[in-house]
Structure 1
Amino acid sequence: MLNNLNQKIPPTYLKIDQATKESGFTMASDILTCSLLKTLAAAKPAGKFLELGTGTGLSTAWILEGMDKNSTLISFDHDEKFLSIAQQYLGQDERLALVLSDGEDWVKNNLGQKFDYIFADTWHGKYLLLDEVLEMLNPGGLYIVDDMLPQSNWPEGHEEKAINFVKYLESRRDLTLTKQNWATGIIIAVKK
């Protein structure tokens, strides 16, 4: 088995990828990670999905591709420039709500919501407000994070933050998790 992507790429992905490169956005999700997000989304029919950190919508396109017609996805980002790319290419999908919001504000204003699938691709829900976001996860819900292997764009001291994050997840009794040394480093956890 090779790390080749042997599945259909969402029709909007290539357009978003081109717009992403032109915009200068450098934090795009790896295509292997995106493929996994699609597969895991297919495991949650009629699910409520949350993506923390839309970016330009590359991973959003894959999540939508895996979702069924009865599922919904809320995806937020604080950067209007990048979110507008996702809006341009994905905004017509009625299952999707794209929200311009600061991560802390969004999480604190939505604490009562519950989700079947959470992809935390920004600081909030990963390094900040983690307990609050994990509380939003339904039993049997998936919590997914990427970029857990050292990245060239990590700021000074980030590796220690990532190590502590993983240790904390491992210590929680309400999660069953797997760490994958694959793509950019992925953790998948299921809420008990």
Structure 2
Amino acid sequence: MTEEINQPIPKSYSDIVRETEKSGFTMASDMLACSLLRTLAASKPNGKFLELGTGTGLSTSWILDGMDKQSSLISFDFDEKFLAIAETHLGNDSRLNLVLSDGEDWINQNAGLKFDYIFADTWHGKYLMLDEVLDMLNIGGLYIVDDMLPQPNWPEGHNEKAINFIKYLESREDLTLTKMNWATGIIVKVKK
């Protein structure tokens, strides 16, 4: 067995990669992590999905590729330039609602919503407002984070934040979790 992805990649993925490289966006999700996101998305038929931190839409394309036709995905980002790339390549998918918003504002304005799958790929919902986002997760819902292994773009002191984040997740009795020392470091949690 190898880590090679031997299934088709999402149709828009290569175009988004090209535009992402031109744009200067440096925080794109790892392709192996994206493959896992797609697989986990397929486990939630008729699901309500949330992605915190669209970026340019690379991981968004994989989540959409795993979702069925009855599912819906809300994905937000605060950077209009990068969100525009996602809009160009994914905006015609009726299952997707791309939102230009600050994380704190979006979470506060949508606190009553519930989701079956949350991919937290930004500070809000991961290092900030974590409890508020976990309250949005349905019983049996998946909460997924990547970039838990040291990354070259981490600011000084971020490693300690990541360690404290993991310890906090492990202390919560309402979550079952698995840590994977694979790809960029992934944690998958299910709400009990």
- The normalised TM-score by structure 1 is 1.00
Residue of structure 1 equivalent to 2:44: 44
**The residue matched to 1:98 in structure 2 has which SS?**
strand
**Separation in 1 of the partners of 2:132 and 2:43?**
24
Deviations 1:1-53 (A, max 9, x none): 21211111000000000000000000000000000000000000000000000
Residue of structure 1 equivalent to 2:184: 184
What's the CA shift for 1:129?
A: 0.1
**Separation in 2 of the partners of 1:129 and 1:121?**
13
1:173 maps onto 2:173 in alignment? yes
**Separation in 2 of the partners of 1:90 and 1:25?**
17
**Separation in 2 of the partners of 1:115 and 1:130?**
14
List runs of 5+ in structure 2 lacking aligned partners. Answer: none
Amino acid at match of 2:90: L
1:6 maps onto 2:6 in alignment? yes
**The residue matched to 2:189 in structure 1 has which SS?**
strand
List runs of 5+ in structure 1 lacking aligned partners. Answer: none
- Select between 67-76 and 5-14 the one with higher mean Cα deviation: 5-14
List 4+ stretches of structure 1 deviating above 4 A: none
Amino acid at match of 2:139: P
What's the CA shift for 1:116?
A: 0.1
Residue of structure 1 equivalent to 2:75: 75
Residue of structure 1 equivalent to 2:21: 21
CA root-mean-square deviation: 0.3
**Separation in 2 of the partners of 1:124 and 1:5?**
30
1:53-68 matches, within 5 Å, as: 53-68=53-68
- The normalised TM-score by structure 2 is 1.00
**Number of equivalences:** 192
Amino acid at match of 2:69: K
Residue of structure 1 equivalent to 2:113: 113
**The residue matched to 1:16 in structure 2 has which SS?**
helix
Amino acid at match of 2:45: P
**Separation in 2 of the partners of 1:145 and 1:174?**
17
